[in-house]
Amino acid sequence: MRAMNMKKAISKTQLLLATVVALTLLLTPAAFAAAPGITGPTFNLTARPAYISQPDGSAVYSWGYGCSVAPSGFAPALTGATCPNMQVPGPTLIVTEGQTVVVNLTNNLPNPAGNTSILFPGFQVTATGGVNGLLTREAGRATTNNVVHYTFVASTPGTHAYYSGTQGDLQVEMGLYGAIIVLPASTPAVCDSGVHASNLTAQGHWGETDFRLAHAAYNHPGACYDREYLFQYSEMDPRIHRQAEEQSTRTCTNCMNVATEPYLPAYFMINGRSMPDLMDPNYAQEYPHQPYNGNPHMHPGELTLLRIIGTGRWQHPFHEHGNHVRVLARDGNLILSANDPSSLAGPLLFTTTTTPGVTMDGIYYWTGKGLNWDPYGHNAASGSTLPCTPDANGYNTGAPNAINYFEWCQDHNKPLQTHPFGDVAGGGPATLPDPNIFANGPWFGGSPYLGPDATVRAVGNTGTTPPSGTVANPPDSEAGFAFMWHSHNEREITTNNIFPGGMLMMMLVDSREFVIDESN
């Protein structure tokens, strides 16, 4: 049986139930994203075929870039970091502004696929070796011309894309794309002082490790950040992949003839995976050719940098619940005010709609300000004693070791309703769903407050938290706010037309005492 059709013997109803259970149980709580990649400035890549997996059980024949030899290193230093000889997306290349970058590409695609190449939009590239191509020099199939060398200076910081410049309607669809992160040569001093220093102190106090690639996305005081994640959005039409697989064993060279229209994608991916697979750890063994995940976490008050790339053919209107995203730059170009070139002027976006080949860097931020109730569960009437001392902006930032670090002090000691827990009909904040329905999710402890003991803080020792959570994520160890992040194109939150799936994840805003472990 063709690998493309090797699906698990389960009905659509069973698949839906299994997927919902996977979403709500999430038995791997320490599976956070960071922005993993390999360091250079010299990279030795190969283009070759392999199979990537989808949550419906399909093994999809694909092409991808990978490491032909061991890379110079990995950044950040995550547990189990690896660079396989083929992966989708390709390895994230991490370099520093001003470095001369060399990418050596070897063509190990099947003979019928013919030549392949890489484009590096935004950079002045010199290409040698290989053969002439339409857009750049290409790696051919003969042993005398199957390697091409690309050289360029990493002149612009920020997030950039790379992808095949050969028969892009087929080769990019098959998986030949990736990301380049160019770190600024220097970062503003303000990124290491004030609130950013307090946030780092808070992380250290609670035993967290700083896995940022830099302290700012650009050399600009408005580009500082405290945590970062990379998201590459793409889609797949299995019919195209099936045709490529069927023709891959032909004995001719450069003779593949795959119809890429009409285009009917059935899989929608973030970093090469679909939900719920994208919420498993980076470098998970069950995804040998899909090493990167997409599972963001943060604490209140942290500036979270989102590195976003649109890949494939479709726009993807991705909505980050909980707040808008302040765009810093597009394609590595800071968006500056025409009236004041020293000031950033990027828009606040309700959806970070991606265009194929376009990248953006943006900041996501959440504090609880404006809720008009205390999300930390303080209630003076129940004896809560945690203080809140406002800084010049009204936040409790002078106590980085406190559970309620970064609380909006204007709402301190304001219970949500007359009864800070219980059903709405009884004056409480939330009506609990039927416990027989998989709807609660592991981070909902029956309380609207941050922190495992927030309900006790709100109602005193007489208060109890309704049972919820799982063995992996009990409400007494993690209780935060789970914001669903997803494509606003409803079809794109399915996997092969089954919901939930596709471009769907959760942003978890965790209370300060919960340790966000990004080591994998």
pTM above 0.75, yes or no: yes
- CA trace torsion 450, 453, 455, 456 (10° rounding): -150
Residue corresponding to tokens 């109803």: 13
Alpha-carbon dihedral of residues 403, 409, 415, 416, nearest 10 degrees? -100
Q: pLDDT tens digits, residue range 475-516?
A: 566 778 888 999 999 999 999 999 999 999 989 898 898 888
* CATH architecture for the domain at 3-279: Sandwich (2.60)
pLDDT tens, position by position, 425-480? 666 666 655 655 544 555 555 667 888 777 777 776 655 555 444 455 565 667 78
Report which DSSP code applies to 24: H
Neighbours of 421 (CB within 10 A): 27
For the segment 298-332, what is each residue's pLDDT rounded down to a tens digit? 999 999 999 999 998 999 999 999 999 999 999 99
Q: How does residue 9 score in pLDDT terms, banded at 50, 70 and 90?
A: very low
- Read off the tokens for 347: 């828009």
How far are the Cα atoms of 70, 86, 184 from residue 499, in angstroms, in the given order?
39, 29, 40
The tokens for 422 are: 């219980």
- 403: nearest Cα among 299, 302, 323, 473: 299
Residue 17 has pLDDT above 50, yes or no: no
**Average confidence (pLDDT) over 405-412:** 94
Q: Above 60 in pLDDT, residue 23?
A: no
Residue whose tokens read 């922005």: 35
Work out the burial of residue 18: count CB atoms within 10 Å of its CB; fewer than 13 is exposed, 13-18 middle, 19 or more buried.
middle
Q: Region 191-197: what's the mean pLDDT?
A: 93
Sorted by sequence, the CB contacts under 8 Å of residue 230 that are 6+ apart come out as: 33, 35, 37, 92, 159, 179, 181, 271, 292, 307, 309
Domain ranges in the chain?
A: 3-279, 368-479
Q: What is the pLDDT of residues 151-167, one digit of tens each?
A: 999 999 999 999 999 99
Q: In Å, what is the CA distance from 99 to each residue of 39, 42, 117?
A: 12, 10, 22
Which tens digit of pLDDT belongs to each residue from 109-137? 999 999 999 999 999 999 999 999 999 99
